[in-house]
């Protein structure tokens, strides 16, 4: 692999060409002027090879996943992407073609999401690759989403489908070989290339009382939202949106359902809104061409309850699910 300075000049500096604040990556820091309106939202997520992605995942997709898990955090705040700093810690023997493909993935997502490189660092390790990205977004503070605003009586919504990230990882590990290749590919893609719900978040501004992105799993993240807001959340299990592929798999093995709710890596937007905003939420879903499903509601109390078709509580743990 080429040296740090050559790597920065050859592969990384071109990614900063749309952000004059990056000073060509030639200075000790980037200079970020205050946005003309609003505040900055900043987040930093790290991915480790073999933990958050697989060593043989295509480098373009690794880069785009790193970008997108951070953009998903910005979406969960209702902020618009602006810039990012990048820490690349790669095995010494990693060749330049991997890095070139990785940077190509970053460039594709920069164009899609309107974001540019501001700075960062490039170092070597004897261990697995460790990739960190610090994303900076912009939003008007009073309109940014928080986890803490859910009110008793609010409705609970989720974008897209749940569990595909978990199943996509299983597919990449050679499970579900009986599944049609088209569905296998769709699931693997969901694991490798999450879809940050930025357009939906932008359309939802003013309607949402609390939001979080589903990275730890639907139930865990609903739990974070309930705890931070000081409320209880009830989720109607039959309403949880599933992809066709997930439904095919559950038809074969219904015991997998709790894993879909606990597996994480969905990067869907989970949010609450007053009942009076239901039409506005559906309009935002349509305007952003993003599927949104009403899956439950906010109640007094604490914790997350999963309810069956009859409204009875279901207890879920890693080994399965039973009626309470």
- Smallest distance, a second copy to C-beta of residue 60, A: 22
Q: How far apart are CA 263 and CA 49, in angstroms?
A: 18
- Smallest distance, a second copy to C-beta of residue 238, A: 28
Q: How far apart are CA 48 and CA 31, in angstroms?
A: 29
Q: Which of 55, 128, 303, 320 binds a second copy (CB under 8 A)?
A: 128
> What x/- string results for residues 131 through 170 when contact with a second copy is judged by CB under 8 A?
-x-xxxx-x-x--x-xxx----------------------
* Residue 26 CB-density burial (10 A; 0-12 exposed, 13-18 middle, 19+ buried): exposed
Cβ contact 210:76 at 8 Å: no
- Smallest distance, a second copy to C-beta of residue 5, A: 9
User: For residues 5-24, which are near a second copy according to CB under 8 A?
Assistant: 23
Helix (H) or strand (E) holding 100: helix 96-113
Residue (114 or 127) nearer to a second copy, CB: 127
Q: Which of 15, 86, 103, 242 binds a second copy (CB under 8 A)?
A: 86
Half-sphere exposure of 322 (CA within 13 A, CB side): 4
> In this structure, what DSSP letter does residue 53 have?
B
Cβ contact 77:94 at 8 Å: no
Residue (183 or 213) nearer to a second copy, CB: 213
Q: Residue 128 is encoded by which pair of tokens?
A: 């697995």
Q: How far apart are CA 159 and CA 118, in angstroms?
A: 30
Q: Does residue number 302 form part of the binding site for a second copy (CB under 8 A)?
A: no
Question: Which region, judged by CB under 8 A, interacts with a second copy, from 85-93, 104-112, 186-194, 294-302?
Answer: 85-93
Q: Which of 62, 67, 74, 284 binds a second copy (CB under 8 A)?
A: 74
Q: Nearest to residue 294, comparing CAs of 227, 239, 254?
A: 239
Which residues in 39-65 are b (16+ Cβ under 10 Å) and which e? eebbbebbbebeebbbeebebbbbbbb
Residue (224 or 239) nearer to a second copy, CB: 224
Q: Does residue number 209 form part of the binding site for a second copy (CB under 8 A)?
A: no
- Smallest distance, a second copy to C-beta of residue 83, A: 8
Q: Which of 12, 62, 118, 200 binds a second copy (CB under 8 A)?
A: 118
Q: Does residue number 202 form part of the binding site for a second copy (CB under 8 A)?
A: no
Residue (147 or 297) nearer to a second copy, CB: 147
- Smallest distance, a second copy to C-beta of residue 112, A: 20
Cβ contact 46:86 at 8 Å: no
Q: Residue 96 is encoded by which pair of tokens?
A: 């330049």
- Smallest distance, a second copy to C-beta of residue 15, A: 14
Half-sphere exposure of 103 (CA within 13 A, CB side): 19
Q: How many residues bind a second copy (CB under 8 A)?
A: 60
User: For residues 22-61, which are near a second copy according to CB under 8 A?
Assistant: 23, 26-35, 39-48, 50-52
Q: Which residues contact 274 (CB under 8 A, 6 or more apart)?
A: 151, 153, 154, 155, 209
Question: Site residues (CB under 8 A) for a second copy?
Answer: 23, 26-35, 39-48, 50-52, 73-74, 76-77, 79, 85-87, 89, 118-121, 123-128, 130, 132, 134-137, 139, 141, 144, 146-148, 211-213, 224, 228
């Amino acid at each position: 692999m080429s040296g740090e300075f050559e790597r920065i000049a050859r592969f990384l500096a071109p990614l900063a060409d749309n952000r004059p604040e990056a000073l060509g990556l030639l200075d000790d820091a980037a200079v970020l002027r205050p946005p003309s309106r609003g505040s900055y939202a900043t987040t930093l997520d790290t991915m480790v090879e073999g933990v958050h992605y697989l060593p043989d995942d295509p480098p373009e997709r690794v880069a785009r996943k790193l970008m997108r898990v951070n953009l998903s955090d910005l979406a969960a705040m209702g902020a618009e992407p602006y810039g990012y700093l990048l820490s690349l810690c790669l095995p010494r023997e990693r060749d330049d073609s991997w890095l070139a493909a990785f940077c190509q993935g970053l460039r594709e997502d920069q164009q899609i999401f309107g974001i540019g490189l501001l700075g960062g660092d490039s170092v070597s390790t004897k261990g697995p690759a460790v990739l960190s990205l610090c994303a900076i977004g912009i939003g008007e503070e009073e309109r940014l989403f928080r986890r803490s605003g859910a009110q008793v009586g609010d409705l609970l919504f989720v974008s897209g489908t749940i569990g595909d990230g978990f199943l996509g990882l299983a597919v990449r590990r050679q499970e579900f070989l009986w599944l049609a290749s088209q569905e296998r590919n769709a699931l693997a893609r969901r694991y490798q290339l999450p879809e940050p719900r930025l357009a939906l978040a932008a359309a939802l501004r003013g309607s949402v009382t609390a939001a979080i992105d589903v990275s730890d799993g639907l139930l865990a993240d609903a739990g974070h939202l309930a705890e931070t807001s000081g409320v209880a959340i009830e989720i109607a299990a039959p309403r949880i949106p599933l992809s066709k592929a997930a439904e095919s798999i559950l038809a074969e093995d219904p015991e997998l359902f709790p894993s879909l709710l606990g597996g994480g890596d969905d990067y869907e937007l989970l949010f609450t809104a007053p009942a009076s905003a239901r039409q506005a939420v559906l309009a935002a879903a349509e305007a952003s061409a993003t599927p949104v499903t009403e899956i439950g509601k906010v109640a007094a109390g604490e914790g997350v309850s999963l309810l069956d078709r009859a409204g009875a509580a279901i207890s879920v743990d890693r080994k399965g699910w039973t009626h309470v």
